[in-house]
Amino acid sequence: MDNAATTCVSDEAAQKSLRYMTETFGNPESRHGFGIAAHSAVEESRKILARAMGIEPDELFFAPSATVANNTAIRGAVASKRKGRIISTAFEHPAVEEVLKDLEKTFEVVRLVPVGGKITADAFRQALTPDTILVTCMQVNNETGAVTPLKEMVTVLKRSGVDAPFHSDAVQGFLKEDFRYSMLDMATFSGHKMHAPKGVGALYVKKGLRVKPVLWGGGQEKNLFSGTHNVPAIVGWGAACESLKEDKEERRRTVEKVNEILRTGIVDLGGEINSPQDASPYILNAAFPGYLGENILNYLSERGICISTGSACSAKKQSRVLSAIGKGDLSRFSLRFSFCADNTEEEARLVLYALKDALKDISTVR
Ligand code: PLP
């Protein structure tokens, strides 16, 4: 139950990847038959993914990870600017937040503060100024599952007449939330969060938008992401996407049920839910005040249950995400459960039994 960290590679993806590692292992840049076959497979994956995203294939660029894609989107979009405002949120993933911290030396960065755990279009309206040069707000928060109202925010931006590209880190939202990414100017995706192998991400860039590369080399992906394509991961991602798309609604219903069982059970055990009520069903953040998250994590791990403490916080440091939603004091006690459709209701019940035992066996702290 740590699927927000990474997921199991699906059978379809693994088989496809294996074929492109051991049989059709050409470099897509090579001009011989092996290279051409690898190139075609990469282009086929691009089409599958773009269709699922609601964008054109030539607007999708493969990157080595979502981290690289986020860095490129943000740095590349403001590369030609000398000043201006960047609007983001107070609870972005480090792959965005750390870039913003660095850019703060040159630009003004405004981080929207969540209200009731969520970003509001109203807060965005208030932060938007004529000198805004970029908006970068994540689609689904990776620690709490809070969903950002991107559609409303895009409407606010369009109506304002401010000419700033809108980027979203959509790593935890793609194929989980109903959304056409063509509404945005840029969006970031990651393969390994959706049953593809690790080591592939992608950036959607709307046709006509100029994004300067952050690294230079062989000129792959129209110069935006130089470096040899990770063909096995890219073709595996296409295969994973096809099967996820097929039964998207059914998968969501399974996950909703697992989430509901845990949510109710945790409250019955005296826990506190940190995720908003209408959060993505794929992520559930909760705390048992007095019980260190780290201790519960270790206890469950010994029983073969994998969860996360929801933040890279040490016992002393508060989670940036939980602090942003006004629950910083609960950081030490927080746990993140994150699901995929392979999780079962039976597993959810087993986790609750294990949590009940953990609360008996683990000593509390103040
Ligand atoms: N953005 C979000 C919201 C994430 O959850 C993650 C992964 O934890 C990333 C970006 C980074 O993705 P990658 O591992 O592909 O660099």
pLDDT tens per residue across span 189-227: 999 999 999 999 999 999 999 999 999 999 999 999 999
Query: DSSP class of residue 355?
Result: H
Nearest CA to ligand 1 atom 5: 142
By most ligand atoms within 8 Å of CB, the mutation choice from 88, 97, 171, 195 for ligand 1 is 171
Computed over every residue of the chain, the mean pLDDT equals 96
- Amino acid at site 239: A
Cα gap 77→135, rounded to integer Å? 10
Side-chain-side CA neighbours of 64 within 13 Å: the count stands at: 10
Determine the pLDDT at residue 366.
83
Residues 6+ apart with CB under 8 A from 9: 17, 195, 196, 197, 236, 240
Instruction: Note the helical H segments in 247-286.
Output: 248-268
- Contact between 325 and 115 under an 8 Å Cβ cutoff? The reply is no
Determine the pLDDT at residue 320.
92
- Amino acid at site 162: V
Active-site option among 137, 241, 313, 340 = 313
Can you tell me the mean pLDDT for 359-366?
94
Ligand 1 contacts CB of residue 169 (under 6 A): yes
Sign of CA dihedral 302, 307, 312, 314: negative
Cα gap 116→126, rounded to integer Å? 17
The DSSP secondary structure of 190-215, one letter per residue, reads EGGGTTS-SS-EEEEE-TT-----SS
Cα gap 36→42, rounded to integer Å? 10
Confidence of residue 312 (pLDDT cuts 50, 70, 90): very low
- Contact between 358 and 335 under an 8 Å Cβ cutoff? The reply is no
- Contact between 65 and 105 under an 8 Å Cβ cutoff? The reply is no
* Known catalytic membership, residue 313: yes
Cα gap 329→353, rounded to integer Å? 26
- Distance from residue 167's CA to the centre of ligand 1 (Å): 15
Determine the pLDDT at residue 169.
98
Cα gap 187→137, rounded to integer Å? 10
Ligand 1 contacts CB of residue 93 (under 6 A): yes
Instruction: Please say if the pLDDT value at position 314 is more than 50.
Output: no
- Distance from residue 213's CA to the centre of ligand 1 (Å): 20
Instruction: Please say if the pLDDT value at position 316 is more than 80.
Output: no
Ligand 1 contacts CB of residue 142 (under 6 A): yes
- pLDDT tens per residue across span 102-148: 999 999 999 999 999 999 999 999 999 999 999 999 999 999 999 99
- Contact between 313 and 332 under an 8 Å Cβ cutoff? The reply is yes
Can you tell me the mean pLDDT for 352-365?
97
Determine the pLDDT at residue 346.
98
- Tokens representing 225? 């992401």
User: How much is the pTM?
Assistant: 0.97
Determine the pLDDT at residue 178.
95
Ligand 1 contacts CB of residue 45 (under 6 A): no
CA–CA–CA angle 361, 362, 364 (5° rounding): 135
Task: Give the number of residues written for the chain.
Answer: 366
- Contact between 305 and 1 under an 8 Å Cβ cutoff? The reply is yes
Confidence of residue 318 (pLDDT cuts 50, 70, 90): confident
Can you tell me the mean pLDDT for 85-113?
97
Instruction: Please say if the pLDDT value at position 313 is more than 50.
Output: no
Determine the pLDDT at residue 324.
93
- Contact between 89 and 119 under an 8 Å Cβ cutoff? The reply is yes
**Cross-strand bridge partners of residue 272:** 287
- pLDDT tens per residue across span 219-234: 999 999 999 999 999 9
CA–CA–CA angle 202, 335, 197 (5° rounding): 30
Determine the pLDDT at residue 311.
55
Instruction: Note the helical H segments in the chain.
Output: 11-22, 33-53, 66-78, 94-103, 121-127, 150-160, 231-246, 248-268, 293-302, 320-324, 345-361
User: Given the CA of residue 67, which atom of ligand 1 is nearest to it?
Assistant: 16
- Distance from residue 69's CA to the centre of ligand 1 (Å): 10
56 closest CA partner among 163, 195, 166, 209: 209
231 closest CA partner among 9, 81, 19: 19
